[in-house]
């Protein structure tokens, strides 16, 4: 019995390592543009509190890890975006990279953006690196994961 548990645990721990061996899907400029346009519409919906659209495009098992380290599920993210005392603008997307996996059914988008916002009257923002994972479900892109992290301060000579 103990040996079965060890074997199951070993298989569980090895699964992500085996998955890393999967080659990414070949790049397709049209597919990359489709993902970037989806990302743009997604960000526009967040900025404009288009909750109906967000409810459709956030996967049921969606989660976000915000820069403060708080993990939000779909319901928590939607509640956060509904708040009238919170505004958000994502500006100047650059260093955008899209990588496809699972035969083009999963897309990982990374980018450097400038964030400008207010939360309960307090300004926040700056330079952030975002990672977003999109997956096709029933032929349509869904947002599975979003994570934003502030970028470290760069010395003036490095800019």
CA-wise closest residue to 78 among 93, 64, 92: 64
- How far apart (Å, rounded) are the C-alpha atoms in residues 157 and 16? 39
pLDDT cut 90: percent of the chain above it: 65
- How far apart (Å, rounded) are the C-alpha atoms in residues 97 and 112? 10
Tracing tokens 């939360």 back to the chain, one arrives at 119
- How far apart (Å, rounded) are the C-alpha atoms in residues 57 and 141? 7
Work out the number of other CB atoms within 10 angstroms of the CB of residue 101.
16
CA-wise closest residue to 127 among 113, 146, 116: 113
Question: How high is the mean pLDDT of the chain?
Answer: 84
Average pLDDT rounded to a whole number, residues 49-62: 98
Question: CA-based angle 127:40:19, to the nearest 5?
Answer: 80
Average pLDDT rounded to a whole number, residues 39-60: 97
Q: What pLDDT digit, counting tens, does each position of 105-134 carry?
A: 999 999 999 999 888 888 888 999 999 999
pTM assigned to the model: 0.78
- How far apart (Å, rounded) are the C-alpha atoms in residues 14 and 152? 33
Q: Does the structure show a pLDDT above 60 at 68? A: yes
Task: Work out the pLDDT band at 152, boundaries 50, 70, 90.
Answer: confident
- How far apart (Å, rounded) are the C-alpha atoms in residues 136 and 139? 6
Average pLDDT rounded to a whole number, residues 1-12: 35
Question: CA-based angle 99:105:110, to the nearest 5?
Answer: 30
Average pLDDT rounded to a whole number, residues 25-29: 70
Q: 151: which residues sit within 8 A by CB, 6+ positions away? A: 112, 126, 127, 128, 129
Domain 25-151, architecture per CATH? Roll (3.10)
Q: Does the structure show a pLDDT above 80 at 13? A: no
């Amino acid at each position: 019995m103990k040996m079965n548990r060890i074997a199951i645990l070993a298989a569980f721990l090895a699964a992500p390592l085996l998955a890393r061996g999967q080659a990414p899907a070949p790049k397709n400029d049209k597919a990359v543009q489709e993902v970037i346009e989806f990302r743009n519409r997604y960000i526009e919906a967040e900025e404009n509190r288009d909750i109906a659209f967000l409810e459709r495009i956030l996967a049921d098992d969606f989660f976000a890890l915000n820069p403060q380290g708080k993990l939000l599920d779909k319901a928590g993210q939607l509640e956060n975006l509904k708040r009238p005392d919170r505004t958000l603008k994502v500006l100047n997307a650059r260093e955008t990279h899209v990588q496809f996996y699972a035969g083009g059914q999963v897309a990982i988008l990374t980018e450097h953006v400038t964030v400008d916002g207010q939360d309960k009257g307090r300004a926040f923002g700056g330079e952030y690196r975002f990672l977003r994972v999109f997956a096709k479900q029933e032929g349509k892109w869904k947002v599975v994961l979003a994570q934003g992290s502030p970028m470290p301060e760069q010395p003036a000579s490095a800019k």
